[in-house]
Amino acid sequence: MMECKEYREKFIHENLTESERNEFTEHLKDCAECRAFVENYNKMKEFMKARTEFKSSSNLKSKIVSKVKFRNRTRLLFKIALPTAAVIVFGTFYVSNPFSANRVAYEKVASTGIKMLNSSYATPVNSQSNLDYLVKIKYASDQF
């Protein structure tokens, strides 16, 4: 007579001889633990069989494929298309009118003129311009 462990190992590996299988059948009548083991094993075996032998319908297949494709497209949209579109929209706006995108810059530019308007003297400090000579023309010309 074999031990429980030996029966179980030979059982799952299907190594039991004819006489051993009969002995194991007799053993199961008396051993509740081995009975539970065999039941669990058979349930597991059925489950594995169902998983490996399952054939989905073509309808289910196409549904799954289309769902996967949709999910991939959505992922692509969020990962590439949306940032690209944002860059294009922002870039176009920036190239066509970058300054209006920056009110602070306008404020800064206007502040130069506002300082002049608020000053009683027109000449700004350290003024430099390649058009300075136009002012010199004014003062080089005798005022007629």
Partner 1 sequence: MKLFSLFVLSLLMVSVAFSSLINDVVTSYASQIIEGHRIVVEQSGSTTRIRYENILRDGYNEIVKIVAPKQFEWARIDKRTYIVFGNEMKISPATIVDAEQTFIKSIAASSTILSSSTTYFHGMKSYKLVVKSQGATYVAVILDPSLLIGYLKIERKKGDITISYDRINVVPVSYFKAILGRFKIIKKPPSAMEIYVWKLVSKLDDVSVTTITINNTSVAIVSGKTKFDKMVVAYVFQNAKSISTGDLVAQFKIKGFTAISVEREHINIVLATKMKISQLKKWIDSIFK
CB of 117 to partner 1, least distance (A): 5
3-state secondary structure of 13: coil
Please tell me whether residue 135 binds partner 1 under the rule CB under 8 A: yes
CB 36 within 8 A of CB 11: no
Q: In terms of CB distance, is 83 or 113 closer to partner 1?
A: 113
Instruction: Pick from 5, 29, 51, 138 the residue near partner 1 by CB under 8 A.
Output: 138
| 66-100 per-residue burial string, b: 16 or more CB within 10 A, e: under 16 | eeeeeeeeeeeeeeeeeeeeeeeeeeeeeeeeeee
Within residues 74-113, the interface with partner 1 by CB under 8 A covers 96-100, 103, 105-107, 109-110, 112-113
Cα gap 93→99, rounded to integer Å: 10
Nearest C-alpha neighbor of 38 from the set 9, 15, 18: 9
Tell the smallest beta-carbon distance from residue 91 to partner 1 (Å): 14
**Tokens 């297949």 appear where?**
61
Encoded tokens for 36: 């539970």
> Least CB distance from residue 112 to partner 1, whole Å?
6
Does residue 17 bind partner 1 (CB under 8 A)? Answer: no
- Report in angstroms how near the CB of residue 87 gets to partner 1 at its nearest: 20
The contact set with partner 1 (CB under 8 A) reads 96-100, 103, 105-107, 109-110, 112-114, 116-117, 119, 121-124, 127-144
